[in-house]
């Protein structure tokens, strides 16, 4: 986008006629533009004129005309012709200045022809770029940097962009070059090996800035502390006033420290019970900190108000410095339509992933899409590339299918078949169809009809798939899995979502789910001693806080509070993450809180963390 804007600005300033006139004066000794009758000629005509003059000239003048013609051809993107002209240049006729230009044009032509290694050899010949015209030096440093980046020589590419920065004045050019320079430095594995060999404050300033950014990507406070030290040392460095976007974001990533929090949750209606579980988790997190650090919490009954925008404003008017809620999806959508949020808000539901949210607006929830995508990633990481999918009919099943399919295909996987089931009677039929057993039985029946006799036959499932992903409730899963085993797929890897797990140990019932892998929140799956002990403590106060769906809502409420001081940092530090009860939490640039879940497998009726599971 930046490059396009720069090009558009350049084209507005210069016509093609003016550009070619500028090139005529490239080399000392070239004929003056007044010697060339080109007022009405096209670029092609002008190039031909340069070639005609070259035929009539000798020595260095002939060389100058050939270089001018090849430069014109490169502008016209006639790469092959430009190379042909350059190959006619007599190297013995090159002056110091034309030598630099010859190799620059040759490098540009070879790079355009996708002959990167040969282009690199040509750039390496340019030892005196200061002999070139200013616009040619800009072209040299910019294009050489691009080539070095393609060749994975990121440190050398960064050096070329540092040199280029001295020639740029247009704000768009400066910004684009700065970000590309920064990207190159971020790609260098060990910047410290270059630090001690430098005597340039300009280069060492960039290296130190990149080093502190990489070393403290997961430590926002330390990054900001070291950034202040860097500023005290490099107060004249160009990055002092124009920081890379990543660092500029980091500087603005200050913690939210609200004194009064408004909680917008329904006390009546279909979501009242869910709201109650979230509230329990939220209050538990608050009571977990010392009383002098606890903010004031004010509850607002969102079920009493049909205007969520008005309720948000009311909370602000009554002194709230942070707002949590609403829970209902329709209300979240309406609140997100507001253009400006003077007080930060985090909704307890998520809209679409691609929705760009206003500043100070965040979304956090437990959408099934998170789990479906992570199931796709897990299966792919396990080396599986062909999937069959079983989901319930209806909205949730469709959302699960779309999320899993899009993610798996994005990774390079293949979805071979998707089947939806409707009711209890549908399980056997759906599994038969998905595994291809119905076709095997159909062929047997047709053959018996033709022969008029009963045949011994063992039906077989399809052999062209790597694994099966399915979404089901606890009760549904316990009935579906036996059908999968019965129809000869007991050895097929199975992946599912948290919906198949009741949240508590039920050895007899869960034996039917043997070897099914699924994702869920750490609060339910983790065997870390601190989490196990904390669960025992909390369950004595909130009995439902560690089991089933209530536990997931409890964990969500708990994380809603503990996330508050970290939200801004998480949004501005892509590598930074927080360990929450509902997963490893990150926040993307659009304000969506994303969860990385834990994985487990049913083994002899017990849930075993996947890393410890018996394969």
Check residue 36 and report its DSSP letter: S
**Strand pairing partners for 361?**
345
Task: Output the pLDDT for position 5.
Answer: 42
**How many CB atoms neighbour CB 83 within 10 A?**
19
**How many CB atoms neighbour CB 428 within 10 A?**
18
Task: Output the pLDDT for position 539.
Answer: 84
Is 404 in the same domain as 277?
A: no
Task: Output the pLDDT for position 439.
Answer: 56
Distance CA 292, CA 339 (A): 35
Q: At what angle do helices 426-435 and 437-451 cross, to 10 degrees?
A: 90
| pLDDT tens column, 49-71 | 899 998 988 999 999 999 999 99
Q: Tell me which of 323-332, 405-414, 480-489 is least confident.
A: 480-489
Long-range contacts of 99-104 (CB under 8 A, 24+ apart): 99/125, 100/126, 100/127, 100/128, 100/129, 100/131, 100/132, 101/26, 101/27, 101/67, 101/71, 101/132, 101/136, 102/63, 102/67, 104/132, 104/136, 104/139, 104/140
Task: Output the pLDDT for position 353.
Answer: 63
CA distances from 563 to 13, 144, 577 (A): 50, 45, 10
Note whether 387 and 469 are within 8 A (CB).
Answer: yes
Distance CA 94, CA 533 (A): 80
Rounded mean pLDDT of 18-39?
A: 36
Distance CA 18, CA 413 (A): 52
Give the residue carrying structure tokens 């034309």: 98
Task: Output the pLDDT for position 594.
Answer: 92
Is 355 in the same domain as 377?
A: no
Check residue 261 and report its DSSP letter: E
Distance CA 326, CA 355 (A): 17
Q: Kindly provide the residue ranges of all beta strands, DSSP E only, lying in 372-504, ordered along the sequence.
A: 386-392, 414-421, 467-470, 494-496
Which one, of 91, 101, 82, 86, lies nearest residue 28 by Cα? 101
Q: Tell me which of 22-31, 127-136, 441-450 is least confident.
A: 22-31
Q: Two tokens at 416?
A: 């071979």
Q: Two tokens at 55?
A: 């035929």
Note whether 524 and 551 are within 8 A (CB).
Answer: yes
Note whether 469 and 375 are within 8 A (CB).
Answer: yes
Task: Output the pLDDT for position 549.
Answer: 77
Is 292 in the same domain as 408?
A: no
User: Is 272 part of a structural domain of the chain?
Assistant: yes
Is 403 in the same domain as 546?
A: yes
Kindly tell me if the per-residue pLDDT of 430 is higher than 60.
yes
Task: Output the pLDDT for position 425.
Answer: 66
Distance CA 363, CA 336 (A): 10
Task: Output the pLDDT for position 36.
Answer: 30
Sheet containing strand 361-363, strands side by side: 296-301, 260-265, 322-324, 345-347, 361-363
Is 497 in the same domain as 602?
A: yes
Q: Which residue did the predictor score with more confidence, 528 or 121? A: 121
User: Is 118 part of a structural domain of the chain?
Assistant: no
Is 409 in the same domain as 346?
A: no
Is 375 in the same domain as 347?
A: no
Task: Output the pLDDT for position 170.
Answer: 92
User: Is residue 424 very low, low, confident or very high in pLDDT (cuts 50, 70, 90)?
Assistant: low
Is 493 in the same domain as 359?
A: no
- How many angstroms from the chain centroid is the CA of residue 51? 50
Kindly tell me if the per-residue pLDDT of 451 is higher than 60.
no
∠ CA 81-84-88, rounded to 5°: 140
Task: Output the pLDDT for position 9.
Answer: 41
Kindly tell me if the per-residue pLDDT of 413 is higher than 70.
yes
Percentage of residues in the chain having pLDDT higher than 70: 85
User: Is 465 part of a structural domain of the chain?
Assistant: no
User: Is residue 198 very low, low, confident or very high in pLDDT (cuts 50, 70, 90)?
Assistant: low
Is 504 in the same domain as 580?
A: yes
Kindly tell me if the per-residue pLDDT of 262 is higher than 60.
yes
Backbone φ and ψ of 324, nearest 5° = -120, 130
Mean pLDDT, the chain, integer: 85
Q: Two tokens at 207?
A: 């290296």
User: Is 332 part of a structural domain of the chain?
Assistant: yes
Q: Is the dihedral of CA 474, 478, 480, 485 positive or negative?
A: positive
Which one, of 528, 537, 515, lies nearest residue 601 by Cα? 515
User: Is residue 187 very low, low, confident or very high in pLDDT (cuts 50, 70, 90)?
Assistant: confident
Distance CA 335, CA 126 (A): 59
Whichever domain contains 297, its CATH number is: 3.40.50.2300
Task: Output the pLDDT for position 16.
Answer: 39
Is 493 in the same domain as 395?
A: yes
Rounded mean pLDDT of 116-144?
A: 93
Q: What number of residues does the chain have?
A: 615
Rounded mean pLDDT of 236-248?
A: 84
Is 608 in the same domain as 548?
A: yes
Q: Tell me which of 171-175, 421-425, 593-597 is least confident.
A: 421-425
| pLDDT tens column, 380-400 | 999 999 999 999 999 999 999
Q: pTM, whole model, 2 decimals?
A: 0.65
DSSP string, 547-614: SHHHHHHHHHHHHHHHHGGGHHHHHH-TT--EEETTEEEEE-TTSBEEEE-EEEEEETTEEEEGGG--
Domain count, the chain: 2
How do 578-580 and 583-587 pair as beta strands? antiparallel
User: Is 429 part of a structural domain of the chain?
Assistant: no
Task: Output the pLDDT for position 306.
Answer: 84
User: Is 250 part of a structural domain of the chain?
Assistant: no
Distance CA 246, CA 574 (A): 9
Note whether 151 and 115 are within 8 A (CB).
Answer: no
| pLDDT tens column, 494-544 | 999 999 999 888 899 999 999 999 999 999 998 888 888 888 888 888 887
User: Is 405 part of a structural domain of the chain?
Assistant: yes
**Strand pairing partners for 451?**
none
Kindly tell me if the per-residue pLDDT of 239 is higher than 70.
yes
Q: Tell me which of 18-27, 99-108, 144-153, 327-336 is least confident.
A: 18-27
**Can you give the residue range of the structural domain that contains 305?**
260-363
Task: Output the pLDDT for position 358.
Answer: 81
DSSP string, 241-258: HS--HHHHHHHH-PPP--
What would the 3-class secondary structure string for 370-404 be? Answer: HHHHHHHHHHHHCCCCEEEEEEECCHHHHHHHHHH
Is 587 in the same domain as 503?
A: yes
Q: Is the dihedral of CA 239, 241, 242, 247 positive or negative?
A: positive
Task: Output the pLDDT for position 15.
Answer: 38
| pLDDT tens column, 264-291 | 999 999 999 999 999 999 999 999 899 9
User: Is 543 part of a structural domain of the chain?
Assistant: yes
- How many angstroms from the chain centroid is the CA of residue 479? 38
Whichever domain contains 526, its CATH number is: 3.40.50
Kindly tell me if the per-residue pLDDT of 35 is higher than 60.
no
Note whether 545 and 279 are within 8 A (CB).
Answer: no
Helix (H) or strand (E) holding 262: strand 260-265
């Amino acid at each position: 986008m930046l490059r396009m804007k720069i090009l558009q600005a350049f084209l507005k300033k210069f016509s093609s006629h003016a550009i070619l006139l500028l090139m005529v004066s490239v080399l000392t000794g070239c004929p003056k533009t007044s010697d060339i009758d080109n007022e009405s000629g096209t670029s092609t005509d002008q190039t031909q004129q340069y070639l005609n003059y070259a035929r009539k000239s000798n020595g260095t003048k002939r060389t100058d005309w050939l270089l001018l013609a090849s430069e014109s051809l490169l502008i016209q993107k006639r790469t092959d012709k430009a190379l042909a002209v350059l190959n006619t240049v007599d190297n013995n006729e090159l002056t110091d200045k034309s030598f630099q230009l010859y190799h620059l044009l040759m490098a540009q032509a070879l790079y355009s022809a996708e002959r990167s290694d040969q282009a690199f050899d040509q750039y390496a010949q340019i030892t005196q770029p200061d002999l070139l015209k200013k616009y040619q030096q800009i072209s040299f440093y910019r294009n050489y940097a691009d080539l070095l980046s393609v060749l994975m020589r990121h440190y050398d590419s960064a050096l070329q962009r540092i040199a280029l920065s001295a020639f740029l004045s247009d704000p768009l050019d400066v910004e684009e070059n700065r970000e590309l320079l920064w990207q190159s430095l971020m790609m260098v594995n060990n910047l410290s090996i270059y630090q001690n060999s430098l005597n340039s404050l300009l280069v060492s300033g960039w290296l130190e800035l990149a080093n502190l950014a990489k070393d403290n990507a997961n430590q926002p406070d330390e990054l900001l502390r070291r950034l202040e030290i860097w500023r005290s040392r490099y107060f004249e460095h160009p990055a002092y006033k124009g920081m890379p976007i990543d660092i500029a974001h980091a500087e603005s990533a200050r913690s939210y420290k609200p004194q009064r929090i408004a909680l917008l949750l329904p006390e009546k209606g279909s979501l009242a019970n869910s709201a109650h579980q979230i509230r329990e988790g939220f209050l538990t997190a608050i009571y977990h900190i010392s009383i002098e650090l606890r903010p004031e919490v004010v509850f607002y009954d969102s079920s009493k108000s049909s205007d969520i925008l008005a309720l948000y404003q009311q909370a602000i008017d009554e002194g709230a410095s942070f707002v949590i809620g609403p829970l209902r999806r329709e209300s979240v959508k309406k609140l997100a339509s507001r253009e400006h949020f003077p007080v930060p808000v985090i909704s307890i539901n998520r809209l679409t992933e691609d929705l760009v949210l206003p500043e100070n607006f965040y979304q956090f929830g437990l959408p099934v899409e998170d789990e479906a995508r992570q199931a796709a990633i897990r299966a792919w990481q396990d080396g599986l590339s062909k999937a069959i999918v079983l989901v319930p009919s209806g909205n949730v099943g469709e959302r699960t299918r779309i999320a899993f399919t899009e993610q798996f295909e994005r990774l390079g996987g293949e979805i071979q078949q998707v089947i939806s089931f409707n009711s209890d009677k549908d399980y056997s039929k759906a599994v038969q169809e998905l595994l291809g057993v119905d076709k095997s039985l159909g062929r047997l029946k047709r053959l018996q009809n033709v022969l008029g006799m009963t045949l011994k036959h063992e039906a077989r499932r399809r052999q062209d798939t790597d694994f099966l992903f399915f979404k089901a409730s606890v009760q549904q899963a316990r009935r579906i899995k036996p059908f999968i085993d019965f129809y000869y797929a007991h050895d097929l890897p199975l992946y599912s979502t948290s919906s198949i797990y009741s949240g508590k140990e039920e050895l007899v019932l869960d034996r039917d789910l043997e070897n099914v892998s699924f994702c869920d929140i750490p609060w339910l799956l983790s065997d870390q001693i601190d989490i196990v002990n904390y669960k025992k403590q909390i369950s004595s106060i909130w009995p439902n806080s560690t089991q089933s769906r209530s536990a997931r809502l409890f964990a969500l409420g708990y994380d809603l509070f503990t996330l508050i001081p970290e939200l801004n940092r998480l949004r501005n530090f892509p590598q930074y993450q927080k360990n929450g009860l509902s997963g490893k939490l990150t926040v993307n640039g659009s304000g969506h809180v994303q969860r990385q879940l834990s994985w487990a497998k049913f083994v002899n009726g017990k849930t075993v963390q996947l890393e410890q599971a018996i394969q």
